[in-house]
Amino acid sequence: MTNTVETASAEDFYGRDTQTSLPGESSMWFFILGDLIIFGVYFISYMYYRGQDQALFLESQQHLSQGIGISNTVVLLTSSLFVALGTEAARHGKRQHAYRLIGFAFVLGLLFPVLKMAEWLPKVNAGLTPGENLFFMYYYLMTGLHLCHLVLGLVILAFVMRDLRVSTAPNIKFIEAGGTYWHMVDLLWLILLALFYLMR
């Protein structure tokens, strides 16, 4: 009897069945799974060609800046923390607090493309373009595709912030969906960091 009451209370508080439902919209999860499959194919292909010419990939890897790679990782991890905290605040009806937290996440997210440009431009000027070799082709392709996903994530966060600012009853599922997408962007970057910057 007590368990039934607790479950019912959870459903009333969050507006959904917290015991069985994934956060956000099912359509967002479908989109995320599709993206992960696409990136997974690229990851496997990269590992295959890396195995064919490990010396070339290791030599090319030395031109990347681990400092910038790690800085971008810290930026995204901190941003994801703010998104998680903001989502939780929104669930508890703390609309203004949620708005501020997701705003912090948005600002941190803006730093990522700035740091990425600071890494890309010197390499391009030095002639290390996608046509240089297979390593740089994969590097620009996958980090560029990730950057496009990050920009889309920033757009989604902007709409989440708008909903929190103008609505007295924000759409929690939409906020959760935006947060879920942002965490996927973070996850993809962690894999890219390992493949391009850390793997030896």
Is 185 among the domain residues?
yes
pLDDT in tens, 75-85: 999 999 999 99
What confidence score (pLDDT) does residue 170 get?
Answer: 84
Query: Which residues of the chain are under the pLDDT cut of 50?
Result: 1-19
Q: Are 191 and 73 in contact (CB under 8 A)?
A: no
* Alpha-carbon span 92 to 65, nearest angstrom: 41
Name the residue range of residue 170's domain. 66-200
Residue at 146 is within a domain: yes
In a domain, 182, yes or no: yes
The answer to the question of residue 4 being in a domain is no
Q: Is residue 50 in some structural domain? A: no
Question: Can you say whether residue 87 is alpha, beta or left, with left for phi > 0 and alpha for psi between -120 and 50 degrees?
Answer: alpha
Residue 189 lies in a domain: yes
Q: What is the 3-state secondary structure (H, E, C) of 128-176?
A: CCCCCCHHHHHHHHHHHHHHHHHHHHHHHHHHHHHHHHHCCCCCHHHHH
Residue 133 covered by a domain: yes
User: What confidence score (pLDDT) does residue 8 get?
Assistant: 40
Residue 20 domain flag: no
The CATH code of the domain that includes 108 is 1.20.120.80
As for how many domains the chain has, the answer is 1
Quote the pLDDT of residue 133. 93
